A and B are shown apart, each in its own frame.
Chain A
Amino acid sequence: MTVLRVNIWRGDAQGAYQRFDVPRHASQTVLDVVTYVQRVLDPTLAYRFACRVGMCGSCAMTVNGVARWTCRTHVDRVAREDRLEIAPLRNLPAVRDLVADMSGFFEKWARAGGSFKGARTRRDNFEPIAPQSPARLQVDAGIECIGCAVCYASCDVVAQNPAYLGPAALNRAWTLVNDARDVAGAERLRAVAGDAGCHSCHTQMGCTQHCPKKLSPTAAIAGLKRATAGAWLSGEL
């Protein structure tokens, strides 16, 4: 029976890695490993999960330096010489052990104009949206985001610019910019322009590289750059 040597972060901003030895199995995920530690070895370990089948994004953590969904990460793919290092997501305050405080992430989502604003009521007709229209295709490319913060944890700009809204918030803003039913228009473009917004993206593409849903916030942010420039040129910004 092989044994995995697992180092797990304990504490919050202050803390240390604690070593656990976990039996290794075939088809084992990193979430299985963390669950084993908490149930069998140390019940005081704090961590998050929900669906455990790759749909909710709650189990996102830093595994061997890379942000991943632990339920979708097979140990075979990441453990070198039977070693694993597990820490909470980067760029977010640690609550305890493997639990990160997501409130700042969602607060930026709101600040980027990340919520839909409509003008029609139930008494009006539906807005006809052609599924293959260029704008709708742009929306479709980014709409599957579930707010897991892996992109946010993988972004170097977020790491050194505390005000930067981040890839997820900007990606969501882009889907709304392209939504024909939304009326927040210029106000949202103003929210996403500037130092804290799309203009601080340096196309390092950490977000696109690590998104578990294969979305591309880099493309969305590029779209926001073009949209804000267009709005400036037409005097709307």
Chain B
Amino acid sequence: MRGHTGYWAFIVHRVSGVLLVLFLPGHFIALGSALEGAAEFDAFLEWTRMPAVKFAEWGIVVLLAAHLAGGLRVLALEFLPWRDWQKTLAALAAAVSLAVGLAFALALVR
């Protein structure tokens, strides 16, 4: 039912996954430009220095961390012996994603 923790864990996991699939082809194509040589790649890297792009990169890292954390929660629920505290794995997952997001933000601005 709407509103309980497990529901939000599911939504975050699903939405982050969909957004990541939409992002990935672009990521692969951009990196593939390196095939054309360092000059092409540098042109692309120049574009990534724009603040809006840096913010989007940070967003994608947070999505990846969130999806990973949510996925680890599912794997724990499906494979580990059952414990009552497993219900709070969702909270743990959120905390870990946040930590990763902060680490990346820090690295971006350094």
Contacts and interface: CB of A to CB of B under 8 A. Distances in A.
If over half of B's interface residues share one DSSP class (helix, strand or loop), that class is named, otherwise mixed; here it is helix
Nearest to B2: A156
A206 B6 contact: yes
A204 B7 contact: yes
Interface stretch (B34-42, B46-54, B75-83, B102-110): B75-83
Interface string A209-237: 11000001011001001100000000000
Nearest to A220: B82
Interface in A186-209: 202-206, 208-209
B74 interface: yes
Contacts of B6: 203-206, 209
* Size bracket of the B interface: 10 to 19
A208 B5 CA distance: 12
A135 interface: no
Q: Is the interface of A mostly helix, strand, loop or mixed?
A: helix
Nearest to B70: A203
A67 B4 CA distance: 13
A154 B1 CA distance: 6
Contacts of A203: 6, 9-10, 73-74, 77-78
Interface string B48-67: 00000000000000000000
Interface of B: 1-2, 4-7, 9-10, 14, 73-74, 77-79, 82, 87
Given A65-B1, A205-B6, A209-B87, 20 more contacts: A67-B1, A141-B82, A154-B1, A156-B2, A156-B7, A202-B14, A203-B9, A203-B77, A203-B78, A204-B10, A206-B4, A206-B6, A209-B4, A218-B77, A219-B77, A219-B82, A222-B78, A225-B78, A226-B78, A226-B79
22 contacts: A65-B1, A66-B1, A67-B1, A141-B82, A154-B1, A156-B1, A156-B2, A156-B7, A202-B10, A203-B9, A203-B74, A203-B77, A204-B4, A204-B7, A204-B9, A205-B6, A206-B7, A209-B4, A209-B87, A219-B77, A222-B77, A222-B82
Closest 5 CB pairs of A and B: A205-B6, A219-B82, A204-B6, A222-B78, A204-B10
